[in-house]
Amino acid sequence: MQAKLYPWHADIWQNWQQLLGQERLHHAILLSAPKGSGKLELAAMLAKTILCKNGITEPCGMCHSCQLFDADTHPDFHWLKPEAEGKQLGVDAVRAGNQYAWETSQLGGQRVILIQNADRMGEAAANALLKTLEEPPANCHFILLSRSMDTMLPTVVSRCNKWKPRLPEESVVKRWVESDLFETVPLQVLRINRGAPLAAKDFIEHGGVGKHEALIEAFMQFVTKRQGLFNLTELVVKAEQEGLQWLSFLLLDVLKVQQGSQEAIVHCDSMDAVNQLAKTLPQSVVMNQLMALNRMKAELARHTGLNSELLISRWLTDFTPQA
């Protein structure tokens, strides 16, 4: 695990350093930020600092503890995460973490338990964690990571010191991504990725721009000419939840234009397509399909065994463009 600080985390890191220096850091830190914001690297920096034998407010990078952390072999650091992307964090993993919390430090210092996707814990897992957070063992810190606190058990949230760092302004994100990739980045790429710098960078590096363009073009072809249903369905299925989110953003953009608003348009570099859809589709259809899409997204997220291809195809056939 890479411990790293990004420029947009400077404020929160300074706050943590102050708490570390005063020995007032809470035993349970809850860090909530979007995917691609670098929260895992920030949490790793905090964990490495807590475990460091020499540093108080930052890791020395030279001690045996820091070397073990960098090699992912630190015996007093435990990283709990779901077995696969999109899966819940199981109760067995949390119970194992609880057991680690009460064990004696193998290096005679602090222990850190990092819980990734804390907002993806089942009720049993959350309740198991709650018991340990209520009566925390000495010299043990929990760091919980989530995309949102809204889906977490309120009693777990209440036992944590909550941090929600702000993402930088679009212009700052754009400059950072462009300087890192040495290429111009369309503004809508940032907005598609909710302004998260690392998510935007990863989106570009893994061909997201081409996939997104192909999906939007296929959607336009289907809605305006009623052609290419199977091709469009295949593209959406391959893109999984990400593809559904792109279409959600697009329909919301269309709805905004139909209502006379130009604020916070995600597809700001594809306004020809947005305007054409706004003229082609009745506003009632856009609104109904947007709500149906959001329901389908939630259903697919809850029940991974559903036939996504069938559901998506049915949803697409409910579009009725004006004659």
Sorted by sequence, the CB contacts under 8 Å of residue 313 that are 6+ apart come out as 229, 233
Residue 84 backbone zone (phi > 0: left; psi -120 to 50: alpha; other: beta): beta
**Do 61 and 5 form a contact (C-beta atoms < 8 A)?**
no
Give whole-number Cα distances, 128 to 111, 136, 174, 241, 296, in Å.
19, 13, 42, 30, 31
Residue 186 to residue 198: CA distance in whole angstroms: 15
Bridge partner residues of 111 (DSSP) = 140
Q: What is the pLDDT of residue 87?
A: 78
Q: Where does residue 104 rank: exposed (0-12), middle (13-18), buried (19+ CB within 10 A)?
A: exposed
Confidence of residue 323 (pLDDT cuts 50, 70, 90): very low
CA atoms within 13 A on the CB side of 264: 6
- What does the pLDDT read at residue 320? 61
Distance CA 214, CA 81 (A): 33
Task: Name the band, by pLDDT with cuts 50, 70 and 90, for residue 303.
Answer: confident
pLDDT tens string 24-59: 999 999 999 999 999 999 999 999 999 999 989 999
What CA–CA distance (Å, rounded) separates 200 from 145? 20
| Sequence-distant (≥ 6) Cβ neighbours of residue 61 within 8 angstroms | 70
pLDDT (0 to 100) of residue 322? 46
pLDDT band for 292, please (50, 70, 90 cuts): very high
Question: What does the longest C-alpha to C-alpha distance in the chain come to?
Answer: 75
Distance CA 215, CA 224 (A): 14
Q: Sheet of 28-32: strands edge to edge?
A: 77-80, 111-115, 140-146, 28-32, 161-163
Handedness of CA 275, 279, 284, 290 (dihedral sign): negative
109-158 residue pLDDT tens: 999 999 999 998 988 999 999 999 999 899 999 999 999 999 899 999 99
Across 76-80, 270-274, 306-310, least confident range: 306-310
Half-sphere exposure of 83 (CA within 13 A, CB side): 4
Query: What is the model's pLDDT at position 259?
Result: 95
> For residue 22, what are the contacts with CB-CB under 8 A and spacing of at least 6?
none
Res 302: pLDDT: 76
> What pLDDT does residue 44 have?
97
pLDDT tens column, 160-195: 999 998 888 999 999 999 999 999 999 999 999 999
Residues linked to residue 80 through DSSP beta bridges, in sequence order: 115
Q: What is the pLDDT of residues 234-285, one digit of tens each?
A: 999 999 889 999 999 999 999 999 999 989 999 999 999 999 999 999 999 9
Amino acid at 242: E
Domains by residue range for the chain, with CATH: 7-163 (3.40.50.300), 207-316 (1.20.272.10)
Give pTM, 2 decimals.
0.85
Length of the chain: 323
